[in-house]
């Protein structure tokens, strides 16, 4: 049970190290509500981590009349409520008269125009979901209220939101869960309004990074044995055998991870549990706001770095790494009342309800070891507070929207407590 709790705690602490072995790729499907979109044999493609889909079937499903100007390579889509215009090769689009920045340019492939589906869908007010198990993109009805529709204050998931004010600046603090599903949305009005009023988005790490090459290179450099040894030289034989059974159950060779250190393998097994339970980082609170910020060109700040997070894991003692790996293996075999899906369901409900007392109890009552807590919580919280204080001392009267794992916020060593102890007024919203 302790490991399952640590898995769930990690969801409100950080979302950083990716699985070391990618799942076998299948074709990506596109869905509009519960109906699969017929793509006419032209499959979605991924470029620089962004999914592009053929524009005609996408616009058809959005009830947009498609237009094409061959001279300028301009695509347009229009109905009574929505107008979209963009050019092939350009990273800007105009949506209802407002220019937005796309994460990647529209492209022409085999005489078919492809567009970034998430950026266009969300900018147009749709919810764009990703199902990693089925490799499916789904567009759901617009999240923005229709013209004349009444908006009820406080509707939606409550979450954990605070406001910190200084003479010069305002900082909003939102405690995040890094993987989720559609039940987290919509968020209550106060959260979205705080984001809309902000000049900057600050996150632990920009996990929507367009180029992950540097991150991957560093992960492999730190996460693989460089001294000629392999995993079996560092862990007990029975643990190595148990890991082999897990890997074979996932369709891999029992020795597939022999070159990797236990912290990489533990994180990968945790990621497998999360994915198989139907949850995804694409639906996490961090990604929700990162996608909005990238679409609207809002500046993004990082409280930490990939190097900091990866080195933190790599600096764990061999004893702690073994404990994490053995816990991940035990969690993989957990029963229905202790497995990842059961625990994450309860974590999401805690976030939807804004149950701060439960969050605090979980954070303060949890302990793998003093080493783990110091690295994962205490030291990182201090570093984040130092960055937040820089924002508060900004003399340009800017507003910052800070999204970090919810467990960083609460408790005796939490960000909220540390800021209050240093004389700042922190108001729960």
Q: Which pLDDT band, with edges at 50, 70 and 90, does 72 fall under?
A: very high
Contact status, residue 175 vs residue 409, Cβ threshold 8 Å: yes
Contact status, residue 381 vs residue 415, Cβ threshold 8 Å: yes
Q: Which two tokens stand for residue 395?
A: 């003399």
CATH 3.30.457.10 location in the chain: 29-131
7 or 243, which is more confident?
243
What value does the mean pLDDT take over residues 393-415?
Answer: 91
C-alpha to C-alpha distance for 56 and 64, rounded to whole angstroms: 9
Least confident stretch, 28-42, 82-96, 127-141, 190-204: 127-141
Q: Which two tokens stand for residue 77?
A: 């889509």
Q: Tell me the average pLDDT of the chain.
A: 82
380 or 207, which is more confident?
380
Q: Which pLDDT band, with edges at 50, 70 and 90, does 15 fall under?
A: very low
How much is the pLDDT for 3? 45
249 or 25, which is more confident?
249
Contact status, residue 384 vs residue 404, Cβ threshold 8 Å: yes
How much is the pLDDT for 300? 94
The enclosing H or E element of 214 equals helix 213-223
116 beta partners: 52
How much is the pLDDT for 236? 96
- Whole-angstrom CA distances from 144 to 6, 121, 123, 411 are 36, 12, 10, 35
Length of the chain: 429
- For helices 2-11 and 356-365, the axis angle rounded to 10 degrees is 130
Please say if the pLDDT value at position 229 is more than 90.
yes
**48: helix, coil or strand?**
coil
How much is the pLDDT for 281? 65
288 beta partners: none
With pLDDT > 90 as the criterion, what percentage of the chain qualifies? 35
C-alpha to C-alpha distance for 373 and 367, rounded to whole angstroms: 7
Q: Which pLDDT band, with edges at 50, 70 and 90, does 61 fall under?
A: confident
Output the pTM of the full model: 0.68
Q: What residues contact residue 75 under an 8 Å CB cut-off, 6+ apart?
A: 55, 66, 67, 68, 84, 85, 86, 87, 88, 106, 113, 115
Q: Which two tokens stand for residue 306?
A: 């990939």
Please say if the pLDDT value at position 23 is more than 50.
no
Q: Looking at domain 29-131, does it have CATH number 3.60.21.10?
A: no
Q: What residues contact residue 322 under an 8 Å CB cut-off, 6+ apart?
A: 234, 235, 236, 239, 262
How much is the pLDDT for 347? 80
DSSP 331-379: HHT--TTTSHHHHHHHHHHHHHHT-HHHHHHHHHH--S-HHHHIIIIIH
How much is the pLDDT for 134? 67
Question: Tokens 């694409």 — which residue?
Answer: 282
Q: What residues contact residue 58 under an 8 Å CB cut-off, 6+ apart?
A: 30, 37, 115, 117, 120
How much is the pLDDT for 359? 85
C-alpha to C-alpha distance for 166 and 9, rounded to whole angstroms: 31
Handedness of CA 139, 141, 143, 146 (dihedral sign): positive
User: Which of 38-42, 190-194, 264-268, 335-339 ranks highest by mean pLDDT?
Assistant: 190-194
Contact status, residue 327 vs residue 266, Cβ threshold 8 Å: yes
How much is the pLDDT for 224? 93
- How many CB atoms within 10 Å of residue 80? 6
How much is the pLDDT for 131? 67
Nearest CA-CA partner of 48 in 107, 94, 133, 129: 107
322 or 47, which is more confident?
322
Taking only Cα atoms into account, the Rg of the chain, rounded to an integer number of angstroms, comes to: 22
C-alpha to C-alpha distance for 233 and 237, rounded to whole angstroms: 9
Please say if the pLDDT value at position 429 is more than 90.
yes
How much is the pLDDT for 190? 93
Q: At residue 41, what are phi and psi to the nearest 5 degrees?
A: 85, 0
Least confident stretch, 35-49, 119-133, 142-156, 258-272: 142-156
With pLDDT > 70 as the criterion, what percentage of the chain qualifies? 83
Residue-wise burial string across 44-57, b where 16 or more C-beta atoms lie within 10 A, e elsewhere: beeeeebbbbbbbb
The C-alpha angle with vertex 295 and arms to 292 and 301, in degrees rounded to 5, equals 65
C-alpha to C-alpha distance for 260 and 256, rounded to whole angstroms: 9
420 or 209, which is more confident?
420
Instruction: State the DSSP code for 375.
Output: I
Contact status, residue 126 vs residue 143, Cβ threshold 8 Å: yes
What value does the mean pLDDT take over residues 261-274?
Answer: 84
Q: Which pLDDT band, with edges at 50, 70 and 90, does 48 fall under?
A: low
How much is the pLDDT for 2? 43
How much is the pLDDT for 6? 47
Question: Tokens 């930490």 — which residue?
Answer: 304
What value does the mean pLDDT take over residues 127-143?
Answer: 71
Question: How many helices (H) does the chain have, and how many strands (E)?
Answer: 15, 19
How much is the pLDDT for 28? 79
DSSP 159-205: -EEEEEE-SS-EEEEEEE-SSB-GGG-SBPHHHHHHHHT-SEEEESS
Contact status, residue 73 vs residue 111, Cβ threshold 8 Å: no
The C-alpha angle with vertex 389 and arms to 409 and 387, in degrees rounded to 5, equals 75
69 or 33, which is more confident?
69
């Amino acid at each position: 049970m302790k490991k399952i709790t640590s898995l769930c705690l990690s969801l409100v602490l950080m979302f950083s190290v990716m699985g070391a072995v990618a799942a076998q790729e299948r074709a990506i499907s596109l869905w509009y509500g519960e109906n699969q979109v017929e793509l006419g044999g032209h499959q979605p493609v991924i470029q620089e981590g962004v999914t592009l889909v053929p524009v005609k079937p996408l616009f058809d499903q959005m009830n947009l009349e498609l237009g094409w100007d061959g001279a300028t390579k301009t695509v347009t889509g229009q109905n009574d409520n929505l107008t979209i215009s963009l050019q092939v090769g350009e990273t800007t689009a105009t949506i209802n008269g407002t220019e937005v920045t796309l994460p990647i340019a529209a492209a022409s492939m085999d005489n078919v125009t492809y567009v970034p589906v998430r950026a266009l869908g969300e900018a147009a007010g749709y919810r764009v979901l990703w199902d990693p198990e089925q490799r499916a993109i789904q567009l759901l009805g617009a999240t923005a209220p229709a013209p004349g529709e009444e908006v009820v204050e406080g509707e939606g998931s409550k979450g954990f939101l605070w406001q910190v004010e200084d003479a010069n600046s305002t900082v909003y603090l939102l405690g995040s869960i890094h993987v989720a599903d559609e039940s987290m949305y919509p968020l209550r009005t106060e959260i979205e309004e705080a984001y809309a009023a902000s000049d900057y988005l600050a996150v632990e790490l920009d996990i929507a990074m367009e180029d992950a090459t540097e991150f991957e290179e560093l992960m492999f450099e730190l996460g693989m044995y460089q001294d000629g040894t392999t995993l079996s030289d560092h862990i007990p034989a029975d643990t190595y055998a148990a890991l082999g059974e897990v890997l074979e159950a996932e369709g891999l060779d029992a020795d597939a991870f022999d070159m990797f250190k236990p912290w990489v393998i533990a994180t990968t097994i945790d990621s497998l549990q999360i994915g198989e339970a139907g949850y995804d980082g694409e639906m996490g609170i961090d990604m929700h706001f990162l996608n909005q910020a990238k679409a609207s060109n809002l500046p993004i700040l990082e409280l930490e770095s990939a190097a900091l997070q990866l080195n933190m894991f790599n600096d764990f003692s061999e004893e702690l790494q073994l404990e994490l790996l053995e816990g991940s293996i035990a969690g993989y075999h957990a029963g229905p009342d202790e497995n990842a899906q059961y625990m994450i369901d309860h974590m999401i409900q805690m976030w939807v309800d804004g149950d701060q007392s439960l969050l605090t109890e979980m954070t303060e009552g949890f302990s793998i070891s003093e080493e783990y807590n110091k690295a994962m919580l205490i030291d990182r919280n201090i570093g984040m507070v130092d960055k937040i204080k820089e924002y508060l001392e900004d003399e340009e009267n800017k507003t910052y929207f800070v999204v970090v794992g919810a467990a960083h916020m609460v408790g005796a060593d939490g960000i909220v407590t540390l800021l209050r102890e240093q004389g700042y007024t922190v108001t729960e919203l």
